[in-house]
């Protein structure tokens, strides 16, 4: 969405209009990706609103420029720049930008993560807004109990404001569908992130086969080009998706055996990738910070600085060539912690699983306990699909291959 839809939308508005554009996202990581994408349109195309800790790219940050440029020169630069990029929080904290600059358009990326009170004040200051997001991925993080989020007002319920933990993006989608405002919603069916085999899992579980691959992008990487002759390499060349069945443990939110296995697999993948290995090669995802920490402990310092290990929530908006998902569910009661279930249009969606799967571009490895996961209908469906179409094995067999 960021690399193509947002980039070309901004490109069109920049080249064909004189409009001022404000681009927003929830996290600095997401804003970094936006800046990287739109910087390819033209040199010095945008300014960034935020603190000095927001980015290392000082030449675009207004907070830095205010310290190095004369006030008149800074004012001229702001007046001449038509594209501004910010997190929602920075835009709210630096509201004086709206007194200096009038914005014709606001484009909000990853809009499903932003609660209505966080964004509605900003949207009231622009002429038109465009929200880009996926209601089937993770919603906004809310600390309040679910019972406190329920709305009782009939007037609010009539406009689909039923829950204070739901994003404006999701409420507007539901409102548009309810009123058959078909022109208000566009579905981005073409995707160029995932290989088709990974896409097919997301399609099967969550997207009703609506996703289509842009083959020249999603098919670029050929795993068969790896010349290594080991049993492990021969095994993973058979498919792009692998499930490894691991034993449970008595701990909560940590599975040492999963962490051990993942560290061994990572070392082998780094060896196979050789000169192609870089910071975009491997990402490790888990529902729990404690499990992320255990995995990190097992990687050498030389590797850990190139491999992102993080929770599903913090990985949303990012992608890696290889994704390893450590499910880390040691008992069936932990299924509630590893899942984020929503009923959207009479379809049950596990948003957390959806995000974890769709971070992978070229290869997906899921590590977990089959017996526990079969207690979830969605995971049971996932395992059945993997066994029918992709690779399934257990931890001991993988370890034998790697000896």
Residues 211-264 have pLDDT tens digits of 998 865 555 556 667 777 789 988 998 999 999 999 999 999 999 999 999 999
Contact 265, 365 (CB under 8 A): yes
pLDDT the model gives residue 224? 67
b/e for 300-332, b at 16 or more Cβ within 10 A?
Answer: eeebeeebbbbbbeebbbbbbbbbbbbbbbbee
Encoding tokens for residue 384? 């059945």
Q: State the pairing for strand pair 320-326/128-131.
A: unpaired
In whole angstroms, what is the distance from residue 303 CA to residue 265 CA? 13
Of the candidates 335, 315, 333, 337, the residue with the CA atom closest to the CA atom of residue 325: 315
Entry pTM: 0.84
Burial of 168 (0-12, 13-18, 19+ CB in 10 A): buried
Helices (H) and strands (E) in the chain, counts: 22, 15
Residue 55 has a CB neighbour count (10 Å cut-off) of: 19
Q: What is the DSSP string of 310-343?
A: EEHHHHTT--EEEEEEE----SGGGHHHH--EEE
Contact 138, 316 (CB under 8 A): yes
Residues 102-123 have pLDDT tens digits of 999 999 998 988 999 999 999 9
pLDDT the model gives residue 223? 67
pLDDT the model gives residue 142? 83
Which parts of the chain have pLDDT scores under 50? none
Work out the mean pLDDT of the chain and round it to a whole number.
Answer: 91
In whole angstroms, what is the distance from residue 361 CA to residue 218 CA? 7
pLDDT the model gives residue 309? 95
Residue 36 CB contacts under 8 Å (≥ 6 apart), including other chains: none
Of the candidates 366, 283, 270, 278, the residue with the CA atom closest to the CA atom of residue 322: 283
pLDDT the model gives residue 386? 97
Residues 34-45 have pLDDT tens digits of 999 999 999 899
Of the candidates 199, 205, 234, 237, the residue with the CA atom closest to the CA atom of residue 218: 199
């Amino acid at each position: 969405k960021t690399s193509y839809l947002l980039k070309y939308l901004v490109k069109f508005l920049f080249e064909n209009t004189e409009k001022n554009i404000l681009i927003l996202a929830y996290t600095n990581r997401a804003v970094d990706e936006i800046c990287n994408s739109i910087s390819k349109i033209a040199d010095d195309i945008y300014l960034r609103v935020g603190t000095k800790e927001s980015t290392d790219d000082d030449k675009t940050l207004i907070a830095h420029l205010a310290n190095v440029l004369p006030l008149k020169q800074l004012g001229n630069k702001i007046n001449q720049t038509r594209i501004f990029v910010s997190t929602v929080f920075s835009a709210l904290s630096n509201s004086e930008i709206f007194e200096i600059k009038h914005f014709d358009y606001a484009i909000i990326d990853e809009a499903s993560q932003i609660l209505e009170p966080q964004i509605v004040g900003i949207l009231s200051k622009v002429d038109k807004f465009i929200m880009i997001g996926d209601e089937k991925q993770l919603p906004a993080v809310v600390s309040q109990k679910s019972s406190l989020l329920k709305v009782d007002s009939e007037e609010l319920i009539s406009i689909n404001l039923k829950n204070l933990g739901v994003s404006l993006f999701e409420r507007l989608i539901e409102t548009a569908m309810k009123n058959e405002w078909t022109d208000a919603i566009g579905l981005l069916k073409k995707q160029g992130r995932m290989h088709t085999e990974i896409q097919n899992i997301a399609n099967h579980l969550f997207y009703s086969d609506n996703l289509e691959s842009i083959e020249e992008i999603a098919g670029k990487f050929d795993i068969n080009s790896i010349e290594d002759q080991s049993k492990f390499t021969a095994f993973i060349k058979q498919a792009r998706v692998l499930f490894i069945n691991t034993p449970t443990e008595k701990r909560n939110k940590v599975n040492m055996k999963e962490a051990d296995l993942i560290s061994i697999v990572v070392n082998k993948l780094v060896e196979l990738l050789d000169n192609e290995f870089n910071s975009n090669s491997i990402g490790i995802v888990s529902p729990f910070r404690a499990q992320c920490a255990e995995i990190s402990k097992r990687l050498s310092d030389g590797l850990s600085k190139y491999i992102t290990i993080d929770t599903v929530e913090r990985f949303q908006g990012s992608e890696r060539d290889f994704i390893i998902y450590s499910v880390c569910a040691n008992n069936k009661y932990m299924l509630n912690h590893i899942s984020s279930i929503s009923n959207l249009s009479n379809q049950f969606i596990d948003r957390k699983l959806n995000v974890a799967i769709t971070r992978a571009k070229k290869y997906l490895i899921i590590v977990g306990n089959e017996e526990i996961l079969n207690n979830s209908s969605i995971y049971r469906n996932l395992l059945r699909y993997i066994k029918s179409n992709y690779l399934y094995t257990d931890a001991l067999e993988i370890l034998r291959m790697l000896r």
